Amino acid sequence: MSVTASLVQRLHRINRQKTDLNGQLARGPRLVSAATRKLQAAVQHVSDTRSELTKLKVAADSKQLQMREREEKIHKWRGNLNSAKENREYQALKDQIAADEQANLVLSDEILEILESIDATTDELASAEEQVKLLESELAEVQSQVAERKVVLESDLARINSELAEAEQGLSGEFKREYSRLVEAKGEDAMAELEGNCCGGCYQSLTPQKLDQLLQGQPIICPSCGRLIYQDHER
Ligand SMILES: [Zn+2]
């Protein structure tokens, strides 16, 4: 291999930058979809709360109607009390009136409870609607930040790609094929720096023969993980 360690080191650095930029670019859409999901959940909550409120109002109306009808009935029966001819008939009416009055007492408690729920649910709906507005503006903010960042990242990436293409021109022959195959498969993990006597990728010790090659400035392939190993020539 006639490629210098410093070129491999440089290729490693550029590939790392490329991976980092691609990672940042991929994060943008994830941020947008996270904010979108939060908004969708809040919109769903508004809709659920609204239908809950409708249900409560329908229930309150129907119970109030039932109470009025029963009151009218009681009123009518009271009128009949005076014209009751027999004692038994009189007592039966009195019993019916008492039973319906009792039923209406229970009903009025139920209505009160529903009216309290309506108040609480109305408050909840208002705050759920506030939350939607808040999340809408958060989403818009995230979208514009991501769009701005994307422009910067894409221009950085274009610069890094041309830097990479330029550096890769220093490669040729078998080594170039090997490098391309490795980078294709592993990205920045195609290369690792020597750390002590070990591969900086998998931390396996290298044989004295391999270390010797590195000392001479030749990059080698790690026998255990297959990364291209180079020695930092500045060290
Ligand atoms: Zn290794």
pLDDT one-digit tens code per residue, 22-61: 999 999 999 999 999 999 999 999 999 999 999 999 999 9
pLDDT averaged over every residue in the chain: 94
What confidence score (pLDDT) does residue 218 get?
A: 82
Integer CA distances (angstroms), 8 to 142, 147, 149, 202, in order: 38, 34, 30, 18
What confidence score (pLDDT) does residue 32 get?
A: 98
Question: pLDDT band for position 1 (50/70/90)?
Answer: very low
Structural domains of the chain, with CATH: 22-170 (1.10.287.1490), 171-235 (no CATH)
Residue 234 alpha carbon to ligand 1 centre in Å: 21
Residue 205 alpha carbon to ligand 1 centre in Å: 8
Cα 223-225-229 angle, rounded to 5 deg: 70
Amino acid at 138: E
Question: pLDDT band for position 2 (50/70/90)?
Answer: low
Residue 199 alpha carbon to ligand 1 centre in Å: 5
Amino acid at 226: G
- Quote the DSSP letter at residue 152: H
Does the pLDDT at position 5 exceed 90?
no
Largest separation between any pair of C-alpha atoms in the chain: 126
Residue 195 alpha carbon to ligand 1 centre in Å: 11
- Tell me the pairing of strands 228-230 and 191-195: parallel
* First vs last C-alpha separation in the chain: 21
Report the share of the chain in percent with pLDDT over 90.
Answer: 85
Residue 202 alpha carbon to ligand 1 centre in Å: 4
Contact 176, 219 (CB under 8 A): no
Does the pLDDT at position 235 exceed 60?
no
Give the pLDDT confidence of 138-157 residue by residue, as tens digits.
999 999 999 999 999 999 99
The pTM assigned to this predicted structure is 0.75
Contact 56, 121 (CB under 8 A): yes
Question: pLDDT band for position 227 (50/70/90)?
Answer: very high
Residue 229 alpha carbon to ligand 1 centre in Å: 8
Residue 191 alpha carbon to ligand 1 centre in Å: 9
Give the pLDDT confidence of 105-139 residue by residue, as tens digits.
999 999 999 999 999 999 999 999 999 999 999 99
For residues 213 and 209, what is the distance between their CA atoms, to the nearest angstrom? 7
Contact 12, 230 (CB under 8 A): yes
For residues 153 and 162, what is the distance between their CA atoms, to the nearest angstrom? 14
Segment 92-111 shows an average pLDDT of 96
What confidence score (pLDDT) does residue 233 get?
A: 65
Question: pLDDT band for position 85 (50/70/90)?
Answer: confident
Give the pLDDT confidence of 180-201 residue by residue, as tens digits.
999 999 998 999 999 999 999 9
Kindly give the interhelix angle for 5-83 and 87-168, rounded to the nearest 10 degrees.
170
Residue 26 alpha carbon to ligand 1 centre in Å: 28
In 3-state terms the chain splits into helix, strand, coil percentages (rounded to 5) of 80, 5, 15
Does the pLDDT at position 21 exceed 70?
yes
